[in-house]
Amino acid sequence: MKRLITALTAAAALGFVGTARADETKTTESKSTVKEKNDGTSSTKVEKKSTTDPSGAANSTTDKSTYTKDVDKNSMGGTTTKVEKKSTHDAPGTASDSTTTSSSMTERDASGKVVKHESSGPTTTK
């Protein structure tokens, strides 16, 4: 009787482990580019892509994000920094798809004080 209970317990445990290890695969890619110059200007771009594929291509979900930051010299002797963020979520069916975008621009004078700041908050479109 003990052997039967032990065998059933082991079979149940293997059954639970088998269902927890579904055929889900997740792939993540990332690409970064940074360019800096001696005069204090720079450009940064980061792109990320993540794909989740649970047991078939028809149910795959893709998330993409892009971050861009540009720093340039301005006429006041300071810098102008522009930051843009964009993320896209592509899931099965069009109801689950969304795109979020935000951007900001900051101007600084020669002493580093913020002279002007503009931002457009995150806007989501479906």
pLDDT (tens digit per residue) in 56-114: 656 788 899 999 999 999 988 899 999 999 999 988 877 778 999 999 999 999 998 99
- pTM of full prediction above 0.75: no
Q: What share of the chain is helix, strand, coil (3-state, %, to 5)?
A: 20, 60, 20
Cα(69)–Cα(86) distance, integer angstroms = 12
Q: Using one digit for the tens of pLDDT, what is the confidence trace for 18-51?
A: 444 455 688 899 999 999 988 888 999 999 999 8
Write down how long the chain is.
126
- Domain residues for the domain of 59 are 24-125
Please tell me the predicted confidence (pLDDT) of residue 6.
Answer: 58
Residue 79 lies in a domain: yes
Residue 86 lies in a domain: yes
Residue 15 lies in a domain: no
Residue 10 lies in a domain: no
Q: How many domains in the chain?
A: 1
